[in-house]
Amino acid sequence: MSVAHDTEQIERANASGRPPVVFVHGLWLLPSSWDRWAQVFEEAGYAPVTPGWPDDPDTVAEANAHPETFARKSVGEVVDHFGDLIGKLSRKPAVIGHSFGGLITQILAGRGLSAVSVAVDPAPFRGVLPLPVSALRAASPVLGNPANLHRAVPLTYEQFRFAFANAVSEEEAKELYETFAVPASGEPLFQAATANLNPWTEVKVNSKNPERGPLLLVSGEKDNTVPWAITNASYKKQRRNKAVTEIVEVPGRGHALTIDGGWHEVADTALAFVRRFH
């Protein structure tokens, strides 16, 4: 996603006078995965901003044609990128992230950069200990080969079906794969996998910062990639903060809950939380 595109969105948000909402996508997706959410929040009176990770292509077709553009993107680099963009907004935004975007959302909140945050099926940070078998399997296309650390790794349809689209029909799973799936940097998954062994990891959250602001964690009941055990462990770390910390489980939903046919229910849940504080 071009720098000009991000700058234009930020300038439009500042000019609107509306409270901004920044959306952070995760691995194997692009900013366009938030387009319908952005419309919901715009209609609710907010100024949506959907930046890319550094060097994100504009379209799924372009992304799949040039997978190398995703390689070597670390969590720290992506967090700093979003932090710089947020610094250009005229007021503190709400921040909403999915998967690794949910992890990045919590890191940004821990830096005091968000007014209110929603982390949907967020990747784990240092101190989150549960490691369910399904999460290992979902990450195995990347972690199974150490050389993937510096590569961009696409998912096959079968891998996407297990990691994202296990709770929808075969027909919908294929449609989601064709519409949204792109390669992803291997590095963040290796960083998350070793976070509890590395005191200097970038995959850490300052959950005690009094400036963190209200935080909602959302878990899909049938998520294989970030099961309840991981999201709940993140919640238990976060609830020590003095600000409001809540968790909600969405019944019958997998990791694709932000993009599948039931996306609106999740968007409404996030919007209701943001409205309470922003």
pLDDT (0 to 100) of residue 128: 96
Structurally, the chain folds into a number of domains equal to: 1
**Rounded Cα distance, 247 and 151, in Å:** 34
pLDDT (0 to 100) of residue 210: 96
Cα 159 → chain centroid: 19
pLDDT (0 to 100) of residue 4: 82
The CATH number of the domain where 252 resides is what? 3.40.50.1820
CB 238, CB 215: distance < 8 Å: yes
Smallest Cα–Cα separation from 100: which of 269, 210, 258?
258
pTM for the model stands at 0.98
**Rounded Cα distance, 97 and 4, in Å:** 22
pLDDT (0 to 100) of residue 1: 57
pLDDT (0 to 100) of residue 108: 98
In order of 10, 138, 161, 166, the CA distances from 171 in angstroms are 37, 20, 11, 12
Residue numbers of the domain that contains 93:
3-277
pLDDT (0 to 100) of residue 183: 97
Walking along the chain (278 residues) 10 residues at a time, the average pLDDT comes out as 84 97 98 98 98 95 95 96 97 98 98 98 96 94 95 97 98 98 97 94 97 98 98 98 98 98 98 97
List, in order, residues 6 or more apart from 244 with CB less than 8 Å away. 214, 215, 277
**Rounded Cα distance, 169 and 245, in Å:** 33
What is the token pair recorded at 84? 């710089």
